[in-house]
Amino acid sequence: MEMNRFTLNFNIYVGVMIRLFKVKEKQRELAENANGGAPTKKQSPGELRLHKGLLHIFNGIEFVILMFYVVFLRVDISELNLPKSCAITFPNGKDNLMNFEVSIRPDEGYYFGGTFLFSFQVSPVYPHEAPKVKCKTKVYHPNIDLEGNVCLNILREDWKPVLNINTIIYGLYHLFTEPNYEDPLNHEAAAVLRDNPKMFESNVRRAMSGGYVGQTFFPRCV
C-alpha cells in the first residue's frame, strides 16, 4: 500500500512538471510571435539539442504515465464484483476503457423493476479524479436531476484514490434502494419523498411506466 501511494504521488508530481514545462514552452512561443517571430535570445546548437531532448523525455514520461493509468483502470474493471442487477457495457468497444455504460435494475425499493443507464467518462488521471457519471435515463429521483446529473458524495468531495469503479456502481445502486431527500438535485421530488412517501411512490411508478409527473414527461423504463 505504501509503495502504491508513493508511485501515485510520484506520477502526480511528474504530471505537474510536464504541464509546467509545456506552459513555459507556450509562453516562449507567444513571446517570439509577438516579436515578429524572432527569439529574444538565440540558442546555441547545443542548447537546441538539449531542449529537444528534454522535450522528447517529457513527452515520453507523459506517455508512460498515461499507460500506467490505463493499466490501472483495466485491472480495476477486470476485478468488478457487481450485483446481479448491474451490468457494464462498452459501446465503443472494450479497447476504449475510458468511456463505458452501466445499467442498474433495482430489485427492491421504489424503483423495483426499472432499468436505468449511466454513462461513465474516466479521467486520464484516474484514480486521482472521480469519473464523470451521468444518468442517461430520465428519472423522477431526488438525487438525479432531469439533465442526468447525479448527487453522490463519492463523485464529489468524498472521492479518494482508494475508491474505484465498483464503489461508484454500488453507490448508484444505493441511490435507488434508499433515495435521500436531504441532499437533493430534484428539490420537488425530494420534498414529496420527505412529506408524502406514498405520493412519491405513486409518482415514481407513473414516471417509470411512461407518463407525466406534473408538467414533465418521463419515457417508460420498465
Q: One of 86, 135, 151, 221 is an active-site residue; which one?
A: 151
Residue 219: per-residue pLDDT = 97
Instruction: Evaluate whether 106 touches 86 at the Cβ level (below 8 Å).
Output: no
Known catalytic residue at 151:
yes
CB half-sphere exposure, 138, CA atoms < 13 A: 14
121 CB-near residues (< 8 Å, 6+ apart): 98, 99, 131, 132, 133
pTM for this predicted structure: 0.70
163 class by beta-carbon count within 10 Å (0-12 exposed, 13-18 middle, 19+ buried): middle
Q: Which three cell numbers stand for residue 215?
A: 408538467
Domains of the chain: 2-57 (no CATH), 81-218 (3.10.110.10)
Find the radius of gyration of the CA atoms of the chain. 24
Chain position carrying cell 438535485? 185
Within its chain, how far is the Cα of 12 from the centroid?
18
Residue 24: per-residue pLDDT = 55
Per-position pLDDT tens, the chain of length 222: 444 544 454 455 445 554 554 555 566 666 666 666 555 556 566 556 655 655 555 555 554 555 555 665 776 777 788 888 999 999 988 788 889 999 999 999 999 999 999 999 998 888 889 999 999 999 999 999 999 999 999 998 999 989 999 999 999 999 999 999 998 999 999 999 999 999 999 999 999 999 999 999 999 999
Distance between CA atoms of 121 and 84, rounded to whole angstroms?
Answer: 23
Distance between CA atoms of 146 and 144, rounded to whole angstroms?
Answer: 7
